[in-house]
Chains A and B, each alone.
Chain A
Amino acid sequence: MAAGDSSEVAVRPEPHRPLVTSLVFDALTVVIPGTRVEALNEGQELYADLGMDSLRFAGLLIELESKLRVDLDDEELMTIELVTVADLIDLVERISLRTAK
Chain B
Amino acid sequence: MTATARDPLLPTHWFNILHDRPQYVTSAVSRTRLPADGKWAGHGLQLQQPFSLARQSLNTADRLIPIPEEILDLYAQYRPTPLRRAVRLEERLGANARIYYKYEGANLTGSHKLNTALAQAYYYARAGVRRVVTGTGAGQWGTALAYACQVMNLGCTVFWVRSTLRQKPIRGEMMRLFGAVVHESPSDLTEVGRRALREDPAGTGTMAVATGEALALAAEDSESRFAVGSGENSVLLHQTVIGQEAVSQMALLGEFPDCVIACMGAGSNFGGIALPLLGAAEDSGRSIRLIAVESATCPKLTRGHYRYDLSDALGTTPITKVYSLGSTYVPPPVYAGGLRNHSAGPLPSAMYADGSLEAMAVDQLTSFRAGMLFCETEGILPAPESAHAVAGMMDVVSRHPRQGPPLVVLVNISGHGLLDLGAYSRFAAGEIEPVSVDEASLSQSLTALEEFNQRIAEPAEAT
Contacts and interface: CB of A to CB of B under 8 A. Distances in A.
Contacts of A59: 58
Interface residues on A, range: 20 to 34
A61 B460 contact: no
B12 interface: no
A78 B54 contact: no
Nearest to B459: A34
A14 interface: no
A55 interface: yes
Contacts of B399: none
Interface in A51-67: 51-59, 61-62
A54 B46 CA distance: 8
B45 A81 contact: yes
A48 B48 contact: no
A44 to B, nearest CB: 11
A53 B44 contact: no
A54 B48 CA distance: 8
A46 interface: yes
Interface in A12-56: 32-34, 45-56
Interface in B304-363: 316-320
Interface in B246-271: none
Contact of A78 (B26, B42, B128): B128
A79 B128 contact: yes
B44 A72 contact: no
Contacts of B51: 58, 61, 72-74, 77-78
Contact of B31 (A47, A61, A74, A78): A47
Nearest to B54: A58
A58 B463 contact: no
A88 B46 CA distance: 11
Contact of A53 (B38, B50, B52, B317): B317
A47 B31 CA distance: 8
A82 interface: yes
B227 to A, nearest CB: 13
A82 B45 contact: yes
Contacts of A62: 54-55, 58
A55 B318 contact: yes
A62 B52 CA distance: 10
Nearest to A61: B51
Given A62-B58, A74-B52, A79-B128, A47 B43 contact: yes
Q: Is the interface of A mostly helix, strand, loop or mixed?
A: loop
A53 B318 contact: yes
Nearest to B36: A48
B47 A55 contact: no
A83 B43 contact: yes
Contacts of B128: 74-75, 78-79
A83 B126 CA distance: 25
B33 interface: yes
Nearest to A75: B128
Contact of B319 (A52, A53, A77, A78): A53
B126 A57 contact: no
Counting chain A CB atoms within 10 Å of each CB, the highest count among B31, B49, B129, B225 belongs to B31
Interface string B8-34: 000000000000000000101011110
B418 interface: no
B435 interface: no
A58 B320 CA distance: 15
Contact of B28 (A49, A53, A80): A53
A54 B54 contact: yes
A58 B45 contact: no
A54 B43 contact: no
Contacts of B318: 53-56
B42 A56 contact: no
A80 B50 CA distance: 12
B41 A45 contact: yes
Interface in B441-463: 460, 463
Contact of B45 (A33, A57, A73, A78): A57
A47 B319 CA distance: 13
A75 B41 contact: no
B71 to A, nearest CB: 15
Contacts of A49: 32
12 contacts: A32-B30, A47-B31, A47-B45, A49-B32, A54-B49, A54-B318, A55-B318, A62-B55, A77-B47, A78-B127, A81-B44, A82-B46
Which 10 residue pairs are nearest across A and B when measured between Cβ atoms? A51-B30, A58-B54, A51-B32, A74-B127, A51-B31, A81-B44, A55-B318, A53-B318, A74-B50, A75-B128
Interface of A: 32-34, 45-59, 61-62, 72-75, 77-83
